[in-house]
């Protein structure tokens, strides 16, 4: 058994999230390209940049621990990204796909929130205060991203529902357009009574 102590487990968990982050970095540009909402695209691009910083933080964590970061594949992130790729095959580009990709991305964020919550707590328990600080910073970024996506979903959902509705017949023909003209054209001869007999 390679993992015997809590410290071993801690390092294993860190390797897992390291793998998850690196997979996410490869996937985000594809996801950003596949969405239509400019707001959503911006959110994904921002988080891609943030994620690169998160990997740097993890590099620093491994440096402090004097351990190698590589050597593990996060199968969960792999699966989540496969589900994201399915969306691209099953839903054509547009507002409904945006809804599906927000769902897929939030699943990724929730996984990360769980993972960073665990390693941040373990770091504190193990007395690794500097490491805990780095991990909490990332944890907060993941939570903020999740909230931002929930915010973006409000307008995206509305758009997608509107786009999903069958087209309504336009019955609002302009009424009363000629009224003014008719009035003006009508000759009024009220007081001429008796003039012609
Ligand atoms: Fe991340
Ligand atoms: Fe994992
Ligand atoms: Fe994230």
pTM for this predicted structure: 0.83
6-171 CATH choice from 1.20.1250.20, 1.20.1260.10, 3.50.50.60, 1.10.1670.40: 1.20.1260.10
What is the distance in A from the centroid of ligand 1 to the CA of 40?
Answer: 17
For the chain, the distance separating the N- and C-terminal CA atoms, rounded to the nearest angstrom, is 123
Alpha carbons 14 and 8: distance in angstroms, whole number? 10
Residues with CB under 5 A from ligand 1 (ion): 21, 51, 54, 112
Query: CA torsion sign, 37 to 38 to 40 to 45?
Result: positive
Which ligand is closest to the CA of 54, given by its number? 1
Where in the chain are the domains?
Answer: 6-171
In DSSP notation, 62-103 reads HHHHT--S-S---HHHHHHHHHHHHHHHHS-TTHHHHHHHHH
Which ligand is closest to the CA of 13, given by its number? 2
What is the distance in A from the centroid of ligand 1 to the CA of 138?
Answer: 7
Residues of the chain with pLDDT below 70 are 168-197
Residue 27 confidence (pLDDT): 96
What is the distance in A from the centroid of ligand 1 to the CA of 20?
Answer: 8
What is the distance in A from the centroid of ligand 2 to the CA of 83?
Answer: 15
What is the distance in A from the centroid of ligand 2 to the CA of 12?
Answer: 10
Query: CA torsion sign, 25 to 26 to 30 to 31?
Result: negative
What is the distance in A from the centroid of ligand 3 to the CA of 140?
Answer: 10
Reading the block at residue 71, the tokens are 């050597």
């Amino acid at each position: 058994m390679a993992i015997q102590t809590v410290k071993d487990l801690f390092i294993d968990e860190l390797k897992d999230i390291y793998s998850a982050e690196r997979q996410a970095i490869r996937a985000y540009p594809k996801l950003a390209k596949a969405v239509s909402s400019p707001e959503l695209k911006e959110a994904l691009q921002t988080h891609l940049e943030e994620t690169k910083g998160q990997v740097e933080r993890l590099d620093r964590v491994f440096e402090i621990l004097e351990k190698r970061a590589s050597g593990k594949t996060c199968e969960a992130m792999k699966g989540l990204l496969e589900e994201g790729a399915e969306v691209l095959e099953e839903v054509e580009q547009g507002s409904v796909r945006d809804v599906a990709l927000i769902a897929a991305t939030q699943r990724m964020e929730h996984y990360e929130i769980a993972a960073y919550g665990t390693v941040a707590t373990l770091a504190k328990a193990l007395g690794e205060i500097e490491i805990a600080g780095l991990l909490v910073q990332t944890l907060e970024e993941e939570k903020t991203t999740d909230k931002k996506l929930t915010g973006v979903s409000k307008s995206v959902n509305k758009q997608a529902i509107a786009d999903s509705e069958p087209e309504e017949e336009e019955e609002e023909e302009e009424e009363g357009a000629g009224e003014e003209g008719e009035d003006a054209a009508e000759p009024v001869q009220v007081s001429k009574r008796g003039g012609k007999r």
